Amino acid sequence: MLKLSHSRIALGLILASAVALGYALYSQYFQNFHPCELCMFQRYGFVTVIALALLSFVKEPKLFVSLSSIALIITGLIAAYHFGIEQKWWIGFQTCSSPSKGGSTDDLLAEIMAAPVVRCDEATWFFLGLSMAGWNVFYSTVLGLAALVSNLRIKK
C-alpha cells in the first residue's frame, strides 16, 4: 500500500489542479468555450493551489499542503456559487466584468465590439446534465476535503 506523505498529497493537488486548468484552457482555445468572470476566479483558485502546494516542498509542508487544500475547497465554493447562478437560484454580477486594455475611445470601442459576450448565468458546456461549474463543485470540494483530512492525519 502506498504510504501517504505531505509531498504525495502536494503532488496530487498539483496534478488535480493542472488537469482542471488544462481542460479549462483546452475548452477555451480548442472548443471555443470562452470563460466568464466566475470561470476565471476558479482558474485563479487552481493556480493558487499549485503555488501553495509547490511552497510545501520548500518549507512547512503540513501548513502549505493544508493551505493548498483549503484553496481547493474555496475554489469548489466559488464553483458552487457559479452553479447556483447558472441554475437561477440567485443573481450573479450585475455589472460588466470585461477587462480593458485602455487606450483611446476608438480603441476601447473596438475592443468592446470584438469581445465575446460571456454570461455567468448561461452554461455552454454540459456532461451528464451538469455544467463545468457543477462538476467543479464536486471535483474541487471532494479532492480538497480529502487532501486536507489526509494531510492532517499524517503524524510527524
Grid cell at residue 59: 518549507
Summarize pLDDT for 3-53 with one digit per residue, the tens.
889 999 999 999 999 999 999 899 889 988 888 888 888 989 999 999 999
Mean pLDDT score of the chain: 83
The alpha carbon of residue 63 and the mean position of all alpha carbons in its chain are separated, in whole angstroms, by: 21
Provide mean pLDDT across the span 82-90: 81
More confident residue, 127 or 134: 134
Say how far apart CA 94 and CA 118 lie, in whole Å: 13
Q: What is the pLDDT of residue 48?
A: 97
The model's pTM is 0.79
Grid cell at residue 9: 498529497
Q: What is the pLDDT of residue 103?
A: 66
